[in-house]
Amino acid sequence: MTDIVVGLGEILWDIFPERKVLGGAPANFAYHVSQFGFNGYAVSAIGDDLLGKEILENLEQKGLNYLIDKTAYPTGTVQVTLEKDGIPHYKILENVAWDNIPFTERTENLAKNTRTACFGSLAQRNDVSRTTIRKYLEAMPKDSLKIFDINLRQNFYSKELIHESLKLANMLKINDEEILVVADLYGWSGEEQDICKRLLNEYKLDIIILTKGTEGSFVFTPRQTSSLPTPKVHVADTVGAGDSFTAAFVAAYMHGERIEDAHRLAVEVSAYVCQQHGAMPKLPDSHLELFRK
pLDDT attached to residue 33: 95
pLDDT of residue 63: 93
Task: Kindly report, residue by residue over 177-219, the tens digit of the pLDDT.
Answer: 999 999 999 999 999 999 999 999 999 999 999 999 889 999 9
DSSP-derived secondary structure for the chain: ---EEEEES--EEEE-SS-EEEE-HHHHHHHHHHHTTSEEEEEEEEESSHHHHHHHHHHHHHT-EEEEEEESSPPEEEEEEE-TTS-EEEEEPSS-GGGG----HHHHHHHHTEEEEEE-SGGGSSHHHHHHHHHHHHHS-TT-EEEEE----TT---HHHHHHHHHH-SEEEEEHHHHHHHHHHHT--S-HHHHHHHHHHHTT-SEEEEE-GGG-EEEE-SS-EEEEPPPP---S--TTHHHHHHHHHHHHHHTT--HHHHHHHHHHHHHHHHTSSSS-PPPPGGGTGGGG-
Digit-coded pLDDT (tens) for 6-45: 999 999 998 888 888 898 999 999 999 999 999 999 999 9
pLDDT for 293 beyond 70: no
The residue ranking higher by pLDDT, 19 or 228, is 228
* More confident: 87 or 192: 192
pLDDT at 237: 65
Q: pLDDT class for 86, splitting at 50, 70, 90?
A: low
What is the pLDDT, as a whole number, of residue 84? 67
What share of the chain in percent tops pLDDT 90? 75
Give the pLDDT of residue 97.
Answer: 98
Average pLDDT over residues 142-169: 95
- Give the best-scoring range by mean pLDDT among 79-83, 87-91, 158-162, 270-274: 158-162
pLDDT at 158: 96
Residue 275 has a pLDDT of 84
pLDDT at residue 102 above 90? yes
Under the banding of pLDDT at 50, 70 and 90, the label for residue 1 is very low
What pLDDT score was predicted for residue 231?
A: 84
Look at 77-86, 127-136, 158-167, 194-203 and tell me which has the smallest mean pLDDT: 77-86
Note down the domain range covering 19. 4-292
Higher confidence at residue 150 or residue 277? Answer: 150
Find the CATH number of the domain harbouring 159.
3.40.1190.20
pLDDT at 235: 79
Looking at the 3D structure of the chain, how many domains does it have? 1
Average pLDDT over residues 68-78: 96
Task: Express each pLDDT in 238-269 by its tens digit.
Answer: 767 889 999 999 999 999 999 999 999 999 99
